[in-house]
Amino acid sequence: MNQKTLPFTSEQLESIIAQYPTPFHIYDEEGILENMRQFLAAFSWNEGFKQYFAVKATPNPYIMRLLQPLGVGADCSSLAELLLCEKVGIIGHDIMFTSNDTPYVEYKKALELGAIINLDDITHIDYLMKHHGSLPETMCLRYNPGNLKTGGNDIIGLPTEAKYGMTREQALEAYKQMQDLGVKHFGLHVMLASNDRDVNAHKQTAEICFEFALEIREKLGINIEFIDLGGGVGVAYRPEEEPINFKELGAVVKEAYDNILVANNYPHVQLAYECGRMVTGPFGYLVSTAIHKKDIYRQYIGLDSCMANLMRPALYGSYHHITVMGKENAPKDHVYDVTGSLCENNDKFAIQRELPKIDIGDRIIIHDAGAHGHAMGFNYNGKLRSAELLLHKDGSVTQIRRAETYDDLFSTLDFSNL
């Protein structure tokens, strides 16, 4: 059973709300750090192992800085994320830049920062040569193994349906082209799943990469020096789900590494992951207040937040656990749709969810909102994005992003010509 606990009491929460009105996202600093320590320990057998935090999950410099002392780098997919790295002081090969349909201005910034460039398509080699004139000595490419990878999910889909990465034939040709253009150090990258808690699925991904590394050596004489196994390590969103066991994950990847690479006398390969969801997801909470009740064909509870604060339920039909603060042990004898005020009927955090009786003014905590929560916010209907708070081990709180204002919302409009 996956206990959905909270890192704060009702009294602590009311003290926080007195200073920072709902809605807001709050992140558990110590939970994030301890979780990451355990993940890194699971791969300590691999010398040089690297975790690149997927900035897209929670693009906040305070979160990035929090992870830095653990040696965690950054997985970036846009110029904005690169700029955050620059401001935080994450540079060089601590950045893995993996993007697609990438304009040169973004490649240029990544090259300025010394990031590892991870190419999504073979045509991007010519694109970089045209705009930049050369390639760095270290390069990586994104491999899409197609039907070699079984399974898939609604978030990223089957490899054969995904827009990402190169086919096997394209990847082999790309490595040859890069070698001819002076690249000396080569990496391999895949991203084949999202939110997957099955260690055997992650083992299969590793096996595909390790087998391909052997083929690259055999056909091109290139030794792959680092392999980024992507992210996709899942989160147990539902109470009945078990979180992924990091020790077991590290063990099955080591088994594949030993059976394929070590057994074939392959030189040491530095492994990496680019997890985002599992780093911050379970340690972030959207805190809201119940402001309306509506009884028609169903019973509805309206919150002061909406899908602009957390769009995963509307976008993917995702489950997020809900705690009614102070009623954790009360019987779940009511069935509600929990909604926001956006002018869209799918603006629902929960549909026909069994919950305790909710009264106006109750604090509603939506769990596992620490990744792809605030980050996916938007301003449709003129909704303002909420504040982000960091809860420290001693119970104190730091505001790491203030709430938007209407001045922010209208800042790009020129009213003078009306």
Closest CA relative to residue 142, chosen from 130, 129, 124 = 124
Task: Say how far apart CA 366 and CA 355 lie, in whole Å.
Answer: 13
Among 24-28, 93-97, 158-162, 403-407, the least confident range: 158-162
- What pLDDT is attached to residue 323? 98
DSSP 3-state of 226:
strand
Q: Residue 149 — very low, low, confident or very high, per pLDDT cuts 50/70/90?
A: low
pLDDT of 30 above 70: yes
CATH 3.20.20.10 fits 29-280, yes or no: yes
Q: Tens of pLDDT along 399-408?
A: 999 999 999 9
Q: Which helix (H) or strand (E) holds 64?
A: helix 61-67
DSSP 3-state of 413:
coil
Do the beta carbons of residue 364 and residue 322 sit within 8 Å? Answer: yes
CATH number assigned to the domain with residue range 281-409, chosen from the 4 options 1.10.10.10, 1.10.1370.30, 1.10.10.60, 2.40.37.10: 2.40.37.10
What count of other Cβ atoms lies within 10 Å of the Cβ of residue 46?
18
DSSP 3-state of 31:
helix
Domain with CATH 3.20.20.10 in the chain: 29-280
Helix axes 199-220, 246-256, angle to 10 degrees: 30
Q: Tens of pLDDT along 318-369?
A: 999 999 999 999 999 999 999 999 999 999 999 999 999 999 999 999 999 9
Domain with CATH 2.40.37.10 in the chain: 281-409
